[in-house]
Amino acid sequence: MKSCLGLELGSTRIKAVTIDESFKPVSSGDYTWASSYEDGVWTYSLDEVWTGLKTALSKVENRDGIAAAGVSAMMHGYLAFDKDWNLLVPFRTWQNTITGPAAAELTELFGFNVPQRWSIAHLYQAVLNGEAHVPQIAHLTTLAGYIHYMLTGVNAVGIGEASGMFPIDSAALDYDAGMMSKFDALTAAKNLPWKLADLLPRVLTAGEDAGTLTQAGAARLDNLLPAGIPFAPAEGDAGTGMAATNAVAPRTGNVSAGTSIFAMVVLEKPLAKVYEEIDMVTTPTGSPVAMVHCNNCTNDTNAWVNLLGEAARIFGAEPDAGTLYTKLYEKSLEGDADCGGVMVCNYLAGEGVTHMDAGRPLVARSPESKFTLSNFFRSQLYSTMSTLKIGMDILAGEGVAIDSLTGHGGLFKTPVVGQSYMAAACNAPVTCMDTAGEGGPYGMALLASYLLDKAEGESLEDFLSNKVFAGVSGSTVRPDPAAADGFNTYIQRYKALLDVEKTAVEVL
């Protein structure tokens, strides 16, 4: 049986998933890992990358039948190598917020939002810091790009992954040449022995040849895979998420909601203004995508569910976690559309969209509010997506049209509830599909399938819609006008609550 393999290095797990000729997952393996905080930097060991990949792959069945593969990983960050591909400084991940001056200066220079986690922000901050390794840099890449090179010998990344390194010109399907020239002019006085174009990996779009697994690459994986397997262009977790949810066409998008929450919307045209709250990336084929990324989603809700479960156990009840979540989610549907005046701010961490450097979870209400379990828990769930709504409202103000959003992640596990609230928040239909349970690695396996199975001239959009997802079942919830009005009332109170949150961060 012919299968395609998707590898993904996420923040907590390294995963391997194979799909069959009908695009269904057939086998998987994983390895648990975690970042470490060393000398003020969040990092991962590159030695553990290979341990994890081999462990995950060893659990995959029928590896000799794999016909194509691809690598995905956490986007952004900083992996700098010398000419012989020796790592110059420990991997600096997307989690770091150590590039503020560089990100601000580049945003001003480019007229384009450059978030702190982007590779170019890390590079320029290292330049500003006068770090000793900077003149030695010969290659700058991402985690997925590094692994792809080590396996195939091809120093290239997919365009979606590249768009988290440096701004992309969607017409040219390459890095923005004008911005590259501005960067080189900015650093000219440093007399560095390189230009930016010398450092960055080549840009490839979905379906392009990105090399094959070499004998040396196979040996790195203890020959768990045979040499010669063609590889799709390496992609980031944003691009694979789009593929896994069939959200690569204009006016479509997806929302991933778990520990953090982010939405990606494929645009018909560029935004008119630059917004610090909105990241601009691309689909795996280079179409512009607006991303709203929020650090806080379900962690505070999880803490309250644990507390309520503890209260239930005092009275002898022993609800399992799944039942407890389901009952509380469903109970929230009985609450008022505006949560009866009960307010929650769910910030355990800082939040870039609302310009918070730290978080203090809050529950607030006025004396006349209706403080019921249903209103409280509905407010909890609204809070998981309120910061996202603030960003999505910016897109609505730009006239961005959304025909459909696909939801995935823990917030959507209980049928209908999370979908209903997200539809009200974003004023768009929200669909949850029965597939893509493995998320990123599944999306990467689909991109490997596209490399192998696409018809002459067939677009990724048509491949996904007509071949992969044509018969996939799911449920769609459309926005209810009363719920949307209630959420709009809630969000105005939420914005006022953020002033209380700022004070709480300062004094608590």
**pLDDT tens column, 377-435:** 999 999 999 999 999 999 999 999 999 899 988 899 898 999 999 999 999 999 988 75
Confidence of residue 438 (pLDDT cuts 50, 70, 90): low
Round to whole Å and give the CA distance between 154 and 257. 34
* pLDDT tens-digit series, residues 324-355: 999 999 999 999 999 999 999 999 988 989 98
Closest to 208 measured CA to CA, from 169, 260, 154: 154
pLDDT at position 435: 58
Cβ atoms of 72 and 444 within 8 Å: the answer is yes
Question: Which residue carries 């407890």 as its tokens?
Answer: 324
pLDDT at position 436: 46
Per the DSSP assignment, residues forming a β-bridge with 18 are 5, 27
Mapped to the 3 state alphabet, what secondary structure does 297-334 carry?
CCHHHHHHHHHHHHHHHHCCCCCCHHHHHHHHHHHHCC
* pTM summary value: 0.89
Looking at this protein, which amino acid is placed at residue 286?
G
pLDDT at position 439: 74
Instruction: Report the mean per-residue pLDDT for the chain.
Output: 94
In angstroms, what CA-CA distances link 358 with 115, 225, 350, 449, 508?
17, 45, 4, 42, 11
* pLDDT tens-digit series, residues 87-101: 999 999 988 889 999
Q: Which residues of 444-472 are buried (b: 16+ CB within 10 A; e: fewer)?
A: bbbbbbbbbbbeeeebbbebbeebbbeee
Averaged pLDDT for residues 161-178: 97
Taking the alpha carbons at both ends of the chain, their separation in whole angstroms is 60
Confidence of residue 281 (pLDDT cuts 50, 70, 90): very high
DSSP code for 356:
B
State the maximum Cα–Cα separation within the chain, in Å, rounded to a whole number: 72
